[in-house]
A and B are shown apart, each in its own frame.
Chain A
């Protein structure tokens, strides 16, 4: 018997239970894998937890690794909500980092909070315009944005290397070509006494603001309509072009910001160490979070946790780095595959509740709004 009542919470429970089930299965599979490799599975599980969330140091380790992934995750998530699959976050990130490193040389005398904000703004603008370019090419010329953003990312990295190792190179950076280092006044420090820099706060706020934008503003709603069905959006007179390009620009700005923060909080200059794959990991983060900005936060933390735990696994058990990649692979294949089970758990819950209510004779007849029967 199909359910006649609209209940929201079975779906919410399902959205939480499905990925958790997938994770548990991945951990079990990983245990099996470790056992085959002649190591103790229980020790591996214990170390995974200890390394990622076991104590204050582990938490700081995890959160620090998660911070840039929140921003690069948004670079995929936001365009995706407008219907575009953008995977070129790495390019936006390196250009953002470059802009933040170069601005003080063009505008001397920057410093303090305003100077830092100016650098971050420069990073966001350069990253944003790079991804907006991919969005514009899609809208105006019909170029596939997935391919073009990836190629633009290669282009950005080549440009970055050319400038850092050529015209913008600090002559004192002999064997590690870098731009001139930022002064102390332009660097981002740690949050209080914790060993986590302020990039985490930027990442969290960006995710929260994006979630509010998509859920509660007209502009965000319009963007979601374009993403849902671009033809319908055009039919009801929405400015699809502008909406798509804006979503790309905001996503790119997040990745650019990540690059700027990496330079200002970690590297103090732009150099090839900035090209470390955060942009590509962001693609995974966003897909696992199903492109929902709020879900990007826990998924990025999970990713950070895997990194932190992998570090400890290597040191304590002598496992190769590839073993964490295996766990990562299991987890994400299973989380994405669990999509196929969507509706099953919620459906079962609904059926069970329906039966329970049907058995109760005094129950008031369920109210069924027209057109919502499943």
Chain B
């Protein structure tokens, strides 16, 4: 009995000590978080001013710089090799960064995971949506946006602008993310006029300026009069289209400056929303948000302001769809949906919500797309 008594006392004592230790540790961490400014690192695979993917991140990073208590370090043109591992480690060891944003898709595996394993106290937020609970460590995470919503709106606007009823899409690689954009764009256009087709050309890689120009010219030679894209830097495609007197919808960032007359609208990222969520958590010592996603409604993506060539009817219809998307009452991928070989890919009565994982392994092109996935 006495023994048990003692046991209980030591246990209680132990628990009290543990509790006190945890509380003070918690306080200390909180105090530290409130006082010390944190250093945040951003890494881009291309140039910061590429009028595309990398610029969309760099623009948001410029916003982060204005936030109080945050120091930003940046690096551009970092390839997906050992170089990015060294850049991440350098930001940690040389600059004291405690939160990193490796923004290129290919940085995740193996590079970010390797560096994260060596630095368990540093937070890593990868852009691309690959993080899986249980499989990847808690100090890593990923964020992404449902930009296909904005591509759908691109399609609606493009459908009103086309005279030949032929649209063009210059894409990098036939991977799920890209196919989803091509399909959303085509579905948006065909919601206006079901006779419209989208012709796709894959260039084979993310940054191929010469091939992108060739693809654009070839599409226009086929009678296509509105073009959009999914490549890292849409600059060349936008400029080429404008030079040929055709119209263009942008992607990643606004390219309106490059072609003020030919630019209709565009699907843009709004990374600052995701950045703020993740940085705030790091600043206040809350757990690292591992899985951050959103679309138009959550302000993860946005659309460019309409250009002068967009008709009143087009604005009205696109704004109508956008309002329904913002209210969470619009689904892009609803059954029955057939691919361009006639196969049913979404059965009747089924609706794939944006969060549906089936959409992330998309390997088909919807009816109305001319091209092969």
Real binding pair: yes
Q: Which residues of A come within 8 Å of B, CB atoms?
A: 57, 61, 64-65, 161, 165, 174-177, 195, 197, 262, 266-268, 271-273, 276-277, 307-308, 311-312, 314-316, 318, 320-321
Report how far A320 CA is from B77 CA in the complex, Å. 9
Report how far A321 CA is from B204 CA in the complex, Å. 25
Contacts of B48 in A (CB 8 A): 320
Report how far A311 CA is from B204 CA in the complex, Å. 28
Say yes or no: is B26 at the interface (Cβ < 8 Å to chain A).
no
Say yes or no: is B214 at the interface (Cβ < 8 Å to chain A).
no
Contacts of A177 in B (CB 8 A): 173, 175
Contacts of A315 in B (CB 8 A): 41, 73-75, 90-91, 94-95
Contact assessment for A273 and B106 in the assembled complex, using a CB-CB cutoff below 8 Å: yes
The 10 closest A-B pairs by CB, nearest first: A273-B80, A321-B77, A315-B73, A276-B79, A61-B86, A175-B175, A314-B75, A321-B76, A276-B81, A174-B176
Contact assessment for A174 and B75 in the assembled complex, using a CB-CB cutoff below 8 Å: no
Given contacts A176-B109, A271-B106, 19 further A-B contacts (CB under 8 A): A57-B89, A57-B93, A161-B204, A174-B175, A174-B176, A176-B108, A177-B173, A266-B85, A268-B110, A276-B79, A307-B83, A311-B87, A315-B74, A315-B75, A315-B91, A318-B74, A320-B48, A321-B75, A321-B76
Q: Taking the nearest CB of chain A, how far is it from the CB of B205, in angstroms?
A: 7
Contacts of A318 in B (CB 8 A): 74
Contact assessment for B75 and A175 in the assembled complex, using a CB-CB cutoff below 8 Å: no
Report how far A308 CA is from B90 CA in the complex, Å. 9
Contacts of B60 in A (CB 8 A): none
Say yes or no: is B128 at the interface (Cβ < 8 Å to chain A).
yes
Say yes or no: is B82 at the interface (Cβ < 8 Å to chain A).
yes
The verdict on A266 contacting B81 (CB below 8 Å), with A174-B361, A315-B73 known, is yes
User: Smallest CB-CB separation from A276: which chain B residue?
Assistant: B79
Contact assessment for B175 and A273 in the assembled complex, using a CB-CB cutoff below 8 Å: no
Report how far A318 CA is from B89 CA in the complex, Å. 18
Report how far A161 CA is from B172 CA in the complex, Å. 13
Say yes or no: is B242 at the interface (Cβ < 8 Å to chain A).
no
Contacts of B174 in A (CB 8 A): 165
Contact assessment for B110 and A165 in the assembled complex, using a CB-CB cutoff below 8 Å: no
Contacts of A195 in B (CB 8 A): 89
Say yes or no: is B47 at the interface (Cβ < 8 Å to chain A).
yes
Q: Taking the nearest CB of chain B, how far is it from the CB of A301, in angstroms?
A: 15
Report how far A272 CA is from B128 CA in the complex, Å. 17
Contacts of B110 in A (CB 8 A): 266-268
Say yes or no: is B177 at the interface (Cβ < 8 Å to chain A).
yes
Q: Taking the nearest CB of chain A, how far is it from the CB of B23, in angstroms?
A: 36
Say yes or no: is B360 at the interface (Cβ < 8 Å to chain A).
yes
The verdict on A314 contacting B76 (CB below 8 Å), with A195-B89, A272-B205 known, is yes
Contacts of A197 in B (CB 8 A): 82
User: Smallest CB-CB separation from A158: which chain B residue?
Assistant: B204
The listed residue (B75, B106, B176) touching A311 by CB distance below 8 A is B75
The listed residue (B77, B81, B86, B130) touching A273 by CB distance below 8 A is B81
Say yes or no: is B27 at the interface (Cβ < 8 Å to chain A).
no
Q: Taking the nearest CB of chain B, how far is it from the CB of A200, in angstroms?
A: 11
